[in-house]
Structure 1
């Protein structure tokens, strides 16, 4: 282990023990800076990375290079995919495709099965839409249904938001699972496929089934959030909306399936691998969406691209979080402590997937941000994936489940839900926090069940 810090000798501990302490102190500093000091996460990650490097005895001249490499390596493979996904999701929202999907599903299932329709709406619309965009876009739809049907607002909203949350935590091309795929060198198409298998039963439990217990919660939705829906004539067609919104899923699934088909034609294999690249998939999906949801409906390209500016502005903070996580991860790797962490964690009598989930859960409870929790946990448990031989796609999902656990007062989503629906703190914990915890717990359970067959 390449830990030569004189502090280890000063405190009379072995290099291995000092390495564990240094990681704990740096993660504790990260938590303190973000949770208490409200420091921007990129800055907090860089400071924590510097602290870890100094505690671990890295040569001073190597520290900036390690931080630069971590930021560049992680962002380099993700920035185009994440930005394309943001622009694609914004186009789905602005065009009215997400609203069309919601209104169609509600019409098909009828008022008696409205929670089921909203569950599907949240999940289907949540695949292309980033969480905050989906929340702001679809919650007014819930309010309109509440006023029409007289049903309890929280019982209708939770299935929808469970679908959004699960897509956000488990499924590429959302930023956190996409970044985890890159960190673990997993296959994005396979992760998406496994994610669907885990997401569906988790969604049934945390969505419509759990919502049945919330009918007595009284809420007073804020009047300012009641508007925001497009007129019927402004919405795209049903087939167009579904086909375009789900196009990245179809393309990734199809390309991944083709890569598994043996072929002796080198040129054909090269084309298939090219088409399976997530960047190419998102480029194709965006190009199709621009035509089907924009140009073919009489909108100009400059008008369509105006929304792209807002999307890229919204996604910038997430990219900075990813960059900072890359810096801390690289310091842990270059110092040698990452390999030691893998050996120590691998020796614990706990399954690797549970360990990944547990680390993400602890950081989520401390920091609030699901993205920060997932990426920080990945940097800690990454060596465990290699040493244990666990499927990296399953580790992406286990950490994703942990990163959604126990949302409480340090999570912006907690306050958005409370204020939009006019709830007390007690009822917000009873509904929102418990829903997120069910997603995290059952997400892990179904990941473990899936690991039996893989």
Structure 2
């Protein structure tokens, strides 16, 4: 019965979002109430369960998410992202243009959410493709691969941040391992897959694309943008702080050094909330005040960023509510009994559940959150479990097989002017290859740590 209720809930969610075009947040709330009743949660406790699910999810990530959006907006509005992309492309030259696109997209992707990075980079990609007389898809596949990797694996993006919070995994460790896994994922799904895709679906590489729907793009002159070094440091600053804190903490534990004021300070500035706040202050100066941009204009960029993520926060909160219903309704415990004594790796299990929900629901973030609700009780059946790797496996599974129920699928289709068949053969296949490669890398990494 618990599994049947989950299945019915997922089907209902798909119908509400896909057929009736209901707002995702409202659909999640309705399904959460329905599944809670079906699982036998007392009517008087359903609202409390849903509120705790929303509050518990947003309480930890809202600050990280909000500040991250502001940093990304400041870097974009100042021309910093444009400077990073163009400088790398010019430095690497025509022969290594794909590698330049990958690095630029990875850096920009860390600072910005997937959709924002896509909208920002596509005009640059099309411009370079036209100048070099190559297909937009030739540069587009490496770009999409790098953006998807940062979206699925690396905090402060919503998916990995929310999952790390749910599993109580250290975000800095998730970030460090995520970068290690990202490199082979991008090489396979971005650089190598481009060559395969060109043979599988050559027609996709003959399309000129269509970015008219993006409207008039803000143009920058390189001399008017912040310097490459300043732009790069600003975009990467939160990552630098969190990684330094994680590496110092690992070194301290390995060496058996007792805690002191220095380690306490490093731990404080490496805390995701603190790191994001410090990074925002750095961005306000480097991308704004330091370039004599009025503080009112800087504030407007921050306000615009905060307004743009309002619905995403609600959707994440709705996913948290559904996750809590699954936990309080005993679904996780029921599945845990099914896997009691099982030898299946928790990493593989998290990936499988996330992949199934991702294919069903479309939203990677909602799929990842729902997965955590099912997997958390199962983890108690295992001895030592590396929570950072389980977090990455969940994010990895939630990136698989992007198709017609995912907004990213339609963005790629329209911007690159592809047919449905071409989109499935490029974007959907890319996301699947990336997800499977990521799982293999995580399982290998688990053997050594």
The bucket for the TM-score relative to the shorter chain is over 0.9
- 1:122/1:386 CA distance change after superposition, 3 Å: farther
Matched ranges for 1:234-245 at <5 A? 234-245=224-235
- Structure 1 range deviating more: 390-399 or 135-144: 390-399
Instruction: Provide the rounded CA distance (Å) in 2 between the counterparts of 1:223 and 1:40.
Output: 26
In the other structure, the counterpart of 1:178 is 161
Tell whether the 8 Å contact from 1:184 to 1:385 is kept in structure 2 after alignment.
Answer: no
Residue deviations 1:367-415 (CA, integer Å, cap 9, x gap)? 2221122112222112223332421111111111111111111211111
- 1:269/1:406 CA distance change after superposition, 3 Å: same
Instruction: Provide the rounded CA distance (Å) in 2 between the counterparts of 1:223 and 1:30.
Output: 32
1:222 is the counterpart of 2:210? yes
Instruction: Provide the rounded CA distance (Å) in 2 between the counterparts of 1:228 and 1:151.
Output: 24
1:145 is the counterpart of 2:140? no
Residue number among 401, 410, 421 corresponding to 1:406 in the alignment: 401
1:307 is the counterpart of 2:304? no
1:252 is the counterpart of 2:246? no
Tell whether the 8 Å contact from 1:199 to 1:443 is kept in structure 2 after alignment.
Answer: yes
Matched ranges for 1:13-412 at <5 A? 18-215=1-198, 216=202, 217-222=205-210, 224=212, 227-260=217-250, 261=252, 262-348=256-342, 350-388=344-382, 389-412=384-407
Specify the SS of the correspondent of 1:307. helix
Tell whether the 8 Å contact from 2:135 to 2:208 is kept in structure 1 after alignment.
Answer: no
Instruction: Provide the rounded CA distance (Å) in 1 between the counterparts of 2:422 and 2:211.
Output: 19
Specify the SS of the correspondent of 2:380. helix
Task: State the aligned residue count.
Answer: 437
Distance apart, 1:269 and its partner CA: 4.3
Instruction: Provide the rounded CA distance (Å) in 1 between the counterparts of 2:333 and 2:53.
Output: 16
Instruction: Provide the rounded CA distance (Å) in 1 between the counterparts of 2:411 and 2:181.
Output: 26
Tell whether the 8 Å contact from 2:10 to 2:360 is kept in structure 1 after alignment.
Answer: no
Specify the SS of the correspondent of 1:405. coil
Structure 1 runs not aligned, ≥5 long? 1-17
Structure 2 runs not aligned, ≥5 long? none
Tell whether the 8 Å contact from 1:128 to 1:245 is kept in structure 2 after alignment.
Answer: yes
- 1:235/1:45 CA distance change after superposition, 3 Å: same
Instruction: Provide the rounded CA distance (Å) in 2 between the counterparts of 1:376 and 1:333.
Output: 10
Instruction: Provide the rounded CA distance (Å) in 1 between the counterparts of 2:421 and 2:312.
Output: 30
Instruction: Provide the rounded CA distance (Å) in 2 between the counterparts of 1:386 and 1:169.
Output: 25
Specify the SS of the correspondent of 2:381. helix
Question: Taking structure 1 as the reference length, what is the TM-score of the superposition?
Answer: 0.92
Instruction: Provide the rounded CA distance (Å) in 1 between the counterparts of 2:3 and 2:408.
Output: 32
- 1:346/1:35 CA distance change after superposition, 3 Å: farther
Tell whether the 8 Å contact from 2:70 to 2:306 is kept in structure 1 after alignment.
Answer: yes
Distance apart, 1:274 and its partner CA: 2.1
Distance apart, 1:212 and its partner CA: 2.1
In the other structure, the counterpart of 2:410 is 415
1:425 is the counterpart of 2:420? yes
In the other structure, the counterpart of 1:12 is none
Tell whether the 8 Å contact from 1:346 to 1:352 is kept in structure 2 after alignment.
Answer: no
User: Cα RMSD over matched residues?
Assistant: 1.7
1:436 is the counterpart of 2:431? yes
- Structure 1 range deviating more: 34-43 or 420-429: 34-43
Question: Taking structure 2 as the reference length, what is the TM-score of the superposition?
Answer: 0.93
- 1:47/1:440 CA distance change after superposition, 3 Å: same
